[in-house]
Structures are given as C-alpha cells and as structure tokens.
Structure 1
Amino acid sequence: MYTQCPECLTVYKLEAELLVPACGCLRCCHCDAVFNALGTLATHLPPEPFTRLAEHALDQEPPMADVAVFRPRPAVEAAAEPVEAVPTADDSVAVEEPGEDFSQLTFTPRFAKPRRRSWRTAAWVAVCTVLVIGLGAQLAWAKRDVLIADPTVGPLIETGCAAIGCRLPLVSAPARLRLLARDVEQHPSVRDGLLITASVHNDAAFAQPYPIVTIVLSDTNGQRLAMRRFQPEDYVGDAATRARGLAGGATTAMVFEVQDPGQRAVAFAFSFD
C-alpha cells in the first residue's frame, strides 16, 4: 500500500501493521509532519507523472463488513443452581446416592499386537538364506586348497568332514615333502637294472597326493647320465592307496626301478613335483 504526506508530498510505501499503533497516523521522515495516512491510502500508484494521490473523505459512515470468515462459539452459560426444597414430616425424602468419581482412574494404553510375518516374508528370508549359503559354498570350493592347507581352518574342516562321512580333496604341496633316506642297489632279478628306495615324510598337516618323482643319475663331474620321471601309478600299484594320498605327518617308502647307465653313474638326486 501507498500513502502521501500532505505537507511535502512525499509518497511512502507501507504495510498495514504500520497503521495500527497510532490509529492510522504517521510521521513524515522528510518534513517531520504528522498526518493521517488513511486519507491518501492507495493500493497502487497512479500512472506517472503525478503530483498528489487521491484523497479519501474520513467523515463518512463506516462501511458494512459483510464477508465473515470466522466467528467464535458463544460460551455456555452456567445453569442456575436449583433451590433445594425443605422436606416436611409428611413427605418422604428421596436421598440421592453420590455419583461415581472417575477422576482418579488410570487408563492403561492398549499396545498394538505385533504383526505376524506373512508367508511371503518367510519365503523371501528362506530364499536369501539359501542363496547366501550357496555363495559361501562356491567360494569355499574355489578356495578349497587354501582353506585345507591353512593350519587353523584345515583341521576344523577335516574334523567336520569326518563327522559327516565325506572325504576332503587332496591338496598338492610338494615343497612340504622331505626326503629322509635313500639307497640304490643292483636289481635282484634284472641284470642291468637298479633298485632305488627312498623314505619320504609329509611335513604338512593335511593329506596330499603322491608326487611326481624325478630321479637324475650323474657321474663324478656332475654331468647327467640319465633322468626319469615317475608318475604315482609307476611306484604305487594300489589304486585305493593312491586315492587316499599321503596322510599328513606320515612317512612312506618308495621303490623305483631304473636301468643301469653304467659304471660312471655314481650319484643320483630326487625332486618332487
């Protein structure tokens, strides 16, 4: 809204709250004159150029306010107290019992009953559980060699597998095979053959397959004269024994038959793969 000082003709922009304290009167900050802002109060400014705002007559009858938006309900008047009648000797007096007082009662809130899980929720939980178990089983199978060879997890897996009657897969660790003793002699039944025996200990705590054994014969100068690689079936004839593997911490004897390369073979070496 806008209003104009009648002394210096300065136009001011103002809010309705500014008119409340002095019943519509304002003080001009330019000429310090006090004037009734309602006389020239306008919602919009007229087109420029202008000198004065339109003035309103302030001595007319108050207009009627006819658009009501709220009216509080009237307060309920207290009913007049009845006058008590004085009973006579002939009249029977009706004694009213005092009403029950509920002001001291304590009301306990009724808690909502827990909702039962629907079969869909239970089915979803079961499916997620099966998927998690399946994923864990796949990861364990992919890392089975590492888990079985682990000194902490391996014995636990072996104990659990023995309880349910399963057999763990063999884990190859040729670096943990230790050669305890070896010997070479003429073959008792083959004229130009040699019989080589070796005692091998499995230092690992888990069973591992019988290794591929490589035997190298050399002369005094260290030059190789002969070499042969023995597969597990070449020196372990029993298939069931090969399937069980070399148990953890066990010692086994291995016997190999090789052809005699001549008198120059004075040394031989073992390696496991």
Structure 2
Amino acid sequence: MYTQCPGCGTIFALRAWQLRQARGRVTCGLCQTTFDAVQALSEELPGDEAGAADGGQPAASTSASSTEEAEVRIPALGPQMSAIGRLLPGDSDERPVDLRALVGEHPAAEQRAATASEETAGAGRGGAADADWEQVLAELRAEQRPARASAAGGPKKRRGRRWLVAAGVLVLAAALVHGSYLYRGALLELPGTRAWLSAVCTLYDCQLETAASYDVIEVEERWLEPDPRRDDALMLGGVLVHTGERRLPYPEMRLTLRDLDGHVTGERWVRPEDYVADSRLRARLGAGMEPGARVPVELYVAEPDGGAESFSLSFRPVE
C-alpha cells in the first residue's frame, strides 16, 4: 500500500510489517514532516493511474540506471526511497520513525532476496497480504483510539483541576479576609497585624478598632456633683487610664445616668474633644492614647428629670 507525505507530496510504498514496526507514526526524510501513515494509506498509487493498473507497484525511477543504484533505493519502498534520511540511534516507539529506517540503507542479501521473492509471488498470495494489512491496521487503530481519547480528555481534566484549585484558593482568601474583619479587635493585639487589618477595614468600610479594643481603659477618681453655676446642670469628672500595650485612638464615650433604684434616667455619647479636660492633650488628639496614659475627664450635662445619683462610662471607636 502507499502513503503520501502531506508536506512535500512524496509517495512511499509500504508493506504491512514495515507499518507495524513504525507504529503508524513516520517522518519524511525530505521535508522532515511528521505524519500518520495510517491516515494517508491508499491501495493505489496517488496520482498514477498506470501504477494502479499494473498491481500498485510504483514505477521505476528513470535515474536508476545501474544495479547498485537500484539496490540503494530499496525497491520495497519505491524509487523515492533514495531521498529519505537515516534512522537515528536510540529511536523508540515514542518518537516518529524515519521511513528509510524501516529496512535500512543497505539491506542484507537474504533480505533483498526475500523482498524480490515477495514481489514475484505477490499476486499469488493477495489474500494473505490483505489479511496482514487488516491485522496491522486493526492493531494500529486500536492503539491510536485510547491515545486520542487521552489527548482529548487530558487538557480538559487539567483545566478542571486548575479551576478547582483556583476556586479553593479564592474561598480560603475570602474566609481569611472575613475572619480578620470579624475578629479584628483581638487580632489587633498581635504585633504586625495592623497594616493587614487596616486594608481589611478599607475593603469592609469599617472601623479598625472595635468596642472590645477599649476594654483596656479604666476609669479612676470618678465623681458626679451639681454644677454650682446652674441649678439644672451636673458636673462629671474622672481620670481615664490606658492599661493596654498599644496606642489607641481616642474613643467616643457614652455617659449613662441612673437614679437611686438603678433605672437609667439619661444617656449621651460624647466625642473626645468634649470630654478631655487637659488642653495639651486636646491639642494632640490625633496622636491617640499611649499605653499607661492618664487622661483627665471633665463634662457638664443637664440634669435629667428623674435625677442622677450615679453614672457609668463605656467606649467605642469614633464614627
């Protein structure tokens, strides 16, 4: 049977055992094109009606004038064989086979005799030759089928795995960011986390500090008494002590007033500039409260209708 190089159009005559040895994948020695010889197989010589009429044997080259030259060309592979390159050492089934390597450049005498004998008796054993071809083609097509399926499925599987990995990374990143947002108050106590948490709060549009951040502020020397200048006003005083280990922005302070029974009679949120009594600290509110700082507090409020016998203070980040 014949196969034709899709690169340069060179035609090669092949026998069943030669195609089996090549495993179907061959390289043209003229143009170095690698192609599947099985896909290009034909029982007739492509483009040569005369060759088909005389039994499918390729016409002899007019340049093959001597016996030695004809032997070098290897009649079993056709007259074009003289232009095909050599097989490199170490070739295996994993790489395409050079067409000239199927029989070698100088075949042994017995191989040439066998080839000649095969050509002479070819017409008489057409059935056996056909059976050989059917067996070889069945073997090669069976080998190519799983290879094609693997080649078709492999990239899709790899792409699927890459998508799964990417999705897993995104889920973990989202969980890390959201967890940092929820527990930012506790994480702020860890060194080196402020820059990361600041970026998280930029994403969530939240305060970096939380109400829990101000649990380290204690109130000392507190007092509450009527304002001597006004009958319906109260004066509140005390000292805020920062017992934590890192600088904190000044918080908003919530004042809660209660009567003798503990019922809430009044409540108010106050900003730092309204409760910090020391003028020097008031000028530096942006610097925040340093660890160990003692901040004097003084505040004047209207006395609620239910009276005010006690008070409590709590804190939150400035909004």
Q: TM-score per shorter chain, which class?
A: 0.3 to 0.5
Q: Structure 2-normalised TM-score?
A: 0.33
**Which structure is larger by alpha-carbon Rg, 1 or 2?**
1
**Bigger proportion of residues as helix:** 2
After TM superposition, the score normalised by the length of structure 1 is 0.38
